[in-house]
Amino acid sequence: MTRSQWAIGLATIVLTIIAGVMSFEYVNKRFPPKPAPAERTTAQDAKDQTDPSAAKPPGACVERDGSWRNWSWPNVPMLSPKCESAK
């Protein structure tokens, strides 16, 4: 590799980095990030948050036969809790 080839390669890399850095401002102006959605609290949600006796749905668990309870998705977590027996 000659000095001229090395200089051309170095100049290409430097110009690419400079163009990338300069494009950040353009991209941020042209495509601003979307604002986070605001959460709306209903009267029922407020009651559920303040009332500790409100029943929460049970979490997903695995039955003795290997079937799932309270899991609606097709993928299955590997380390899942066993279901508690009904008392």
- At 28 the pLDDT is 83
- At 59 the pLDDT is 74
Structural tokens at position 14: 């430097």
Give per-residue pLDDT as tens, 39-81: 776 666 665 565 555 555 567 787 888 777 777 776 666 667 7
Query: Which residues make Cβ contacts (< 8 Å) with residue 83, sequence separation at least 6?
Result: 61, 62, 63, 64, 69
Residue ranges covered by each domain of the chain: 1-31
Give per-residue pLDDT as tens, 22-50: 998 888 888 877 777 777 766 666 655 65
User: Does the structure show a pLDDT above 80 at 8?
Assistant: yes
Question: What's the pTM value of the predicted model, to 2 decimals?
Answer: 0.35
DSSP state of 38: P
- Three-class SS of residue 10? helix
Report the sign of the C-alpha dihedral through residues 40, 46, 52, 56, in that order: negative
In sequence order, the β-bridge partners of residue 61 are 69
